[in-house]
Amino acid sequence: MNAPGAPAQARNAQASHATPFPGVTDAGEGGTTTRGQTVLEDKVIEKIASQVARDETLAGGSSGGFLGIGTHADRHARPKVSVELTGNIATLSVEVGMPYPIPLRQATEELRQRIRVRVMELTGVEVRHVDIRVSWLIAAGGDAGGRRRLL
C-alpha cells in the first residue's frame, strides 16, 4: 500500500530537477557536509525561457481564446515553451510569433542562443537543444486584429 502523498511525490520526481550547487557546504563539527539541493519544477524553466524570449528578443506569443480557439497574435504575450529535463540537461520547444519582415533564420538563431545562455545563467541547467516553431508573422508596426488600410 502506498503512503499518503506517494503519487504526488512520484509526480514531482518526474516533473522536477534537482540542482546541486557544488562548493556550497556547511562546515559542522563532523566535517564538511552539503546543505541540500535545489529542486526546479519544469514549469519554472518554462516560465524563465518564455520570459527571456519575450523580454530580450523580438518574439511574441498568443493570447485570448479558450482551449486554443479564438487565440490571436500578441507581441506582448509570452511565447509558449515546453521543457523536457534529463538530469541536468534540458531540451526546449518554443512557439513564437515574429514581426515581419525579418530574416527568420537569423532571428530564430539569436532567440535560440539567448534562451540557451540565460536559462543556464539563471537556473544552472544546461540547455542542449531548442526547437523553435514560428506560428505567426505580424507586420512591423501593425496589429494582427486591426483593419487593413486601403490605398
Helix 104-123 vs helix 42-56: crossing angle, to nearest 10:
130
Domain residues for 131?
A: 39-139
Q: How many domains does the chain have?
A: 1
Residue 84 within any structural domain of the chain: yes
Q: Cβ–Cβ contacts within 10 Å for residue 86, how many? A: 9
Give the domain CATH number at 135: 3.30.70.1350
pLDDT per residue as tens, the chain (151 positions): 444 444 444 444 445 555 555 544 455 555 566 788 777 889 999 999 999 998 887 787 777 767 666 666 777 788 999 999 988 899 999 999 998 898 999 999 999 999 999 999 999 999 999 999 999 888 876 554 555 555 5
